[in-house]
A and B are shown apart, each in its own frame.
Chain A
Amino acid sequence: MLVKLPKIFGRGGKATAERLRVRLARFRELVQKNDRVLTLMAEAGEMLGGEYLFDRVFLRDFADELRDTVEGVIQDLSEVSGERYPDLLRALAEVDDAVRAAMELRPPVPDAPAILPMETMGLEHADAAGEKMARLGEIRNRLGLPVPGGFVVSTRACWDFLQRAGVTDAVRALDTGREGAPERDAPDTEELRRRILESELPPELARSIRREVRRMVEMDEHVLFAVRSSAAGEDSDLIAAGQFTTRLGVLPDQVPTAYKEVVASLFTPEALAYQEQHGVPPGQGMMAVGCLVMVPARSSGVVYSLDPLRPDREVQLVAASWGLGTVVVEGKAPVDRFALKRTPERTVLFRRVAEKSHRCVPAPGGGVVEEALPEEMRTAPSMNDAELRAVSEAACRIERYMKCAQDVEWVLDSLGRVAILQARPLRIQPSLAPAGRALRQELERYEVLMRGKGEVACRGIASGIVRVVADLDSLPPGGTGELVLVAPSASPRLGSRLSQASAVITDVGNATGHFAAVAREARIPTIVDTGIATSLLEEGQEVTVDAEENVVYRGRVEELLHYQLMRSASFEDAPEFRALRRMLRRIVPLHLHDPQDRTFAPDRCRTYHDLIRFAHEKAVASLTKMEWVRPSSDVEYVRRLLLPIPLDLVLVDLGGGVDAPAEERRVGLEAVQCRPLLPLLEVLCGEGGWETSPADMDLNGFMSSATRALPLTTPLASRPEQNLALISREYLHLSLRLGYHFNVVDTYLTDGANDNYIYFRFLGGVTEIVRRSRRATLLRRILERFGFVVEGRGDLVIGRTRGLTAEHMVERMRMLGRLIGYTRQLDIHLRDDQRIDEYLERFLEGDGNLSGA
């Protein structure tokens, strides 16, 4: 039987087929590389959970492999599409540079804006804003504790300023002299300071500072500022930075000058000696400066979340006095001292009210001044029990989050409300920490409820009350993180409940999945995939979760909780973890969403994830645009799928997707070998999958669909989309146009959970806009129920999931088959918002038949 090739191919049908084969093979390689990158990203994310020991060499190899693989993807794209993408290669080089820079264990001055507002500050800004301010920002924005507003002048801005002042050479010279050089010549540094104080700030920086200050003044015309240095680098806590790097009581106009003074004071002989002692390049470690609004302090003080000399006693220590905290921190005058028990009741064990003589207050012209206390205040306690407990509560929350004991500076305003000014790890004598062996013996006393099941997604130790979360909607919001959430699966929806949790344990899940990443961000000890947690652990039980050894104990194991607190810092703060986090920030976040949007472009690619997303999408688009891709095609690799439903589907076989003789242009389902496609089609073609009864249309909806012209914004106007499946044995890229709906399913289904993923996209629609958005809402909720991470705006719905086992993947593909059938006529039925819930329930119950509603 002669195979006739359509005329469009012109001469050399065989050559064309060969070229096609090459393109398809390249596409297949692109898909594999794409998946490799996604897997690498997920595995690296998993390493942030603390289970793995890795070092700089690993980070370098990781960066190398990523770069090489993404470059391969771009090259594959060129082969598949026949186009060059110089912009992509440029973007690749930029991302690679950024990743290498991020990898430095002691990062150089990062490219950051000059001003960083406290409203968006977090630990991820530690390089630019310094540890102190970054941590405060985290406490403010992640923990929601009261922290004064303000802004940080970044390390970058400081370096630019020093350059303008012409002192950067002198600063660098201080460094080279370090090896063995005993002293700084006093004249050098004095000159340095003088030049800093006398130089003008760069105009842009001065403007930015004034603008921020003005913003604060608008909120309170009497505002005063505290201008404090904020050290960058992991040893910043060693650089406790004495009082010479702080200016208090700064009037708005004085902020720029105070800034210069703080920067200059970093170069005093004492400061330099201190830095040298702690192995920090002079000036490098301390170049961010925080400008925070000063809280009018009625009282201030310090709280230690553990007694550093007797950490075994479950006690918190508080020192307080009237006015600003300098009195307490300097430790020169008598102050009130309290001790509280670390239990939830926070029993006050001890109150020693001192004879206080002075307090520190803002001075009228700026700065601070000491004034004598009025008689009645001298022997009055500077805080009451309620305030003590509030301070203690705050310290506990910070401690739990940071996973180590804390030294916290706080202030009480005129109404007795707490605000946090600073928090850092509390140094406990190592000799006082319980020895490993002793700990093991202590632990033998406790009953083990579960051991060694599943895998640790985020290390840590926490205790709490078990809450078995079969249905997330039944869990009321609120609470302060005392619950151990035990859930059937690591659904992304759990992520929104993490503020209530001290730990999370799931029956099903993957340490490389999305929820695991969210748990690590929140630093919540998490164990996934245990298989039996929901049946083994009882509602209301108090347990201690050791997500290091992977053991769950009955009751509260003080020794373990202590053990964690006494470490000088959590593993999350170790240099290599920070480096990996920094790197991943330039690798993982996705900025490209809607392929139809003009922002889906090479110049918008800021991460490796963006690059592969773009490349993948473009590769698919170029393949599906090709002329030979149509049902009547006679080209090898292209077939038409015969289905029992009225759906025209073109199959492009990348290799292993179809088992049928090469000359057969039409095949049935039984020839399909593509693992993800089969379950989807089986359900779509099965009972109730493709709606067979007449649609129950109401007149409005029908009129709207019949007369609506295709808006030019839909993708359908640009080119006629085929119903098309690009398939191999494990891979599927399915694009389906059903009526005016446009579905895309892109998935990889193997026996290795780590490599598996599903990407589902839905756009378009019949009927008017309100119903279209109802449908989008319904789709999002269905996808969320099935553990997809959902995004999208308006009509566009995108769902993603990864890390599922083959079995679960098949379940999801079946669900998608049902979903695609279900949505075909859904708009017509979605008459009002209340019906969304109804249709959600019907879908979940397996009822795909919409008529009879």
Chain B
Amino acid sequence: MCDMRSRTISFTLNGRPVTAEVTPHQNIVEMLQTQFALFGARESCGQGLCGCCTVLIDGKPVSGCLTLAIFLDGMELITIEGLVASGRLDPIQQAFIDCGAFQCGYCTPGFVLMTKALLSQNSDPSDAEIRDWLSGNLCRCGAYPEILSAVKTAARAIKRAATG
């Protein structure tokens, strides 16, 4: 982008300091795809209602399609690609595989990141708490029952790793 109005921002992307040239109208999804070749945050509804574009800013889940990239300046951004540490899946990702908690997979990164945010605040969520946290993520394939069990499986795995 060589737009006159573009600005340079600096932020932390999946643990690494980066800079990006962004225009005022550019959202996070577009910036990740065009400037960092990261395609795990995906636009679907474009209205912040489906959760497919979920990313974590300073640990908080936000809709990447509604958040302007320019606001990332000085912040810490985690995307689905940032969950894999030296080739090892996050326990949440592993639980999603083990429980078959996806079908087409388009919404999956959003569910995984929302679960990440939930479990970082509440290591042992109840069914109702899980449902409340995940109510902003939609899965048209209807893998919700498997997702519920994946969240619980991940919570147990994380607890085991911490105590073991």
Q: Are A and B co-members of a single complex? A: no
Q: Which residues of B come within 8 Å of A, CB atoms? A: none
Q: Which residues of A come within 8 Å of B, CB atoms? A: none
